[in-house]
Structure 1
């Protein structure tokens, strides 16, 4: 009953539309500015890095999204008058064990898979480690990246998913809409400019994976841990001249980027296997109902809560 947790707050269509419309408008402006600029995104980033250094540019990229987390949480608490716990999970309290399990599982797999790729394709990587530059990067990344990824989770899989589910009265609409919007949010990334729109399959597919995690597990915890690990480990482990995060990472990818099976394998192989693993660990059932079923009315949800409170 994750979507129904929105009933614990003060409802109102404008309360759910204000933040998404503002964020989507900002993303649209950013995209239009990007495609109409005479300078490519990659060249712009490289110029900024030459002038300010990669750590400062990383802060500039992350800080607005990190601040956005507090905007979403503040809006939820002050305007919706909803607890942060009910925005996060259907459980009585936030399950930090779930967050850390997903974080260390995907972080470990990312390191392992990257290590395998480096072993079999050493010509595609160069050792880039410099301790004096890496330490400031690690501090910045450890502080800001979890805030950035948490903003995206609370905005898409939290705020928008609960709002859309309540007003659409079903689960598939918020799953599809939030997943597609999550993918489109990345359309102005330098990766898209370099590889083409085909890379959007990966971004939208990742959105669906995170949305399924949230609906099946009835909370954001697994998505929060996975997303933080994905961005943090990537920023610290491997960088490239054509990615959004250009950092003083351990390795630098110097291969010419192309869209290949490495884009499709995570979506159609790795993510489904992870869903099976999470399903077995947490005993997920009723997939069809949880992903495509209806959302309870406020009256039904309140009645269940009242009966549960009497039992306690």
Structure 2
């Protein structure tokens, strides 16, 4: 079969948001070869750049190295856009929402909620357990130089990943099944796979893998449930900006200065063999995205913005 069934579960009046979101893929051309080619192009552009560009050149300095390395995410973003528009012949917005325009206020609310959750259930417990593990960055000037670039590039990086995983791949797998639990599980696994090359795996593989699978699952489920990618985009940007701007740690995949310097991380401590801390770390890893999902759907004021057309 060389083409997905365009008549499977057509969108009709009264169907759930999940159907609206997945059905946006039907606005374009959906031959199987187009998805194979699209995935190949996107991954080749992203990983090909990483192969061509040297990992680090000391003479350029940390900021230039960071900009050169993370330029790959700008190419990643552009590759997704071009694949959707040229190969699939549909609008870029169809990866995000079926509504007329993006809900920037909803995204701002989602960003803020996830940021607060990161503080309450990640940074604060670490400080209460060991205040000496956190300190103000002694090189504040270096951090301030990085800051404007982090505020621009990190959201591009996270949005690119959301467009590819919770947008392109989630809608593609929607042609194969409409079981949103199955789709979310598959998406969580797919999201985890490229992250296995991150340094966190060497420190505490179990915690890291659970983190990526759970985050990918919850963001996919949230996207299907709401019928829009906006809340996942907001959460992912908030998560990564919290790490890069507020509290980074040694061994993190983000080699950038942050406001606070931490001498350890949940992953590192878990790797030391503390079973209790490992369990707490895993629970925290699960708790933050799950609480985010619950808050975004249970607070009436947020529901009002979410349901706006």
CA distance in 2, matches of 1:197, 1:23: 28
CA distance in 2, matches of 1:81, 1:209: 29
Shift of 1:278: 1.4
Shift of 1:3: 0.7
Q: Deviations over 1:159-205 (max 9, x none)?
A: 11111112445434432222101011110001112223542111111
CA distance in 2, matches of 1:123, 1:117: 10
Q: Secondary structure at the match of 2:94?
A: helix
Q: Deviations over 1:62-118 (max 9, x none)?
A: 221232111101221222121122210122322212211111111233234414532
The worse-fitting range, judged by mean Cα deviation, of 59-68 and 241-250 is: 59-68
Of the two structures, which has the highest relative contact order with CA contacts closer than 8 Å and spacing of 6 or more?
Answer: 1
**1:269 equivalent in structure 2:** 287
**2:269 equivalent in structure 1:** 258
CA distance in 1, matches of 2:69, 2:222: 27
Q: Where do 4+ consecutive residues of structure 1 move more than 6 Å? A: 25-30
The worse-fitting range, judged by mean Cα deviation, of 66-75 and 206-215 is: 66-75
**Structure 2 residue 198 is matched with structure 1 residue 180:** no
TM-score (norm 1): 0.77
**1:17 equivalent in structure 2:** 36
**2:112 equivalent in structure 1:** 104
**2:221 equivalent in structure 1:** 212
Cα 1:227–1:193 change in 2 (3 A) is same
Q: Deviations over 1:18-56 (max 9, x none)?
A: 2334556789999xx9xxxxxxxxxx98xx486544323
CA distance in 2, matches of 1:164, 1:134: 41
Shift of 1:150: 0.5
* Contact map agreement 1:179 1:204 (CA 8 A) in 2: yes
The worse-fitting range, judged by mean Cα deviation, of 183-192 and 241-250 is: 241-250
CA distance in 2, matches of 1:109, 1:160: 27
Cα 1:13–1:202 change in 2 (3 A) is same
CA distance in 1, matches of 2:114, 2:178: 33
Shift of 1:240: 2.0
Aligned pairs, number:
271
Cα 1:175–1:167 change in 2 (3 A) is same
Q: Secondary structure at the match of 2:292?
A: helix
TM-score (norm 2): 0.78
Shift of 1:266: 3.1
CA distance in 1, matches of 2:182, 2:129: 42
The worse-fitting range, judged by mean Cα deviation, of 248-257 and 222-231 is: 248-257
CA distance in 2, matches of 1:262, 1:178: 25
Q: Secondary structure at the match of 1:126?
A: strand
**2:23 equivalent in structure 1:** 4
Residue among 128, 135, 138 paired with 2:144? 135
Cα 1:227–1:116 change in 2 (3 A) is same
Q: Secondary structure at the match of 2:174?
A: helix
The worse-fitting range, judged by mean Cα deviation, of 268-277 and 166-175 is: 166-175
Shift of 1:231: 0.5
CA distance in 2, matches of 1:270, 1:198: 14
Q: Deviations over 1:133-160 (max 9, x none)?
A: 1122111111111111011000010011
**1:58 equivalent in structure 2:** 66
Cα 1:235–1:227 change in 2 (3 A) is same
**1:77 equivalent in structure 2:** 85
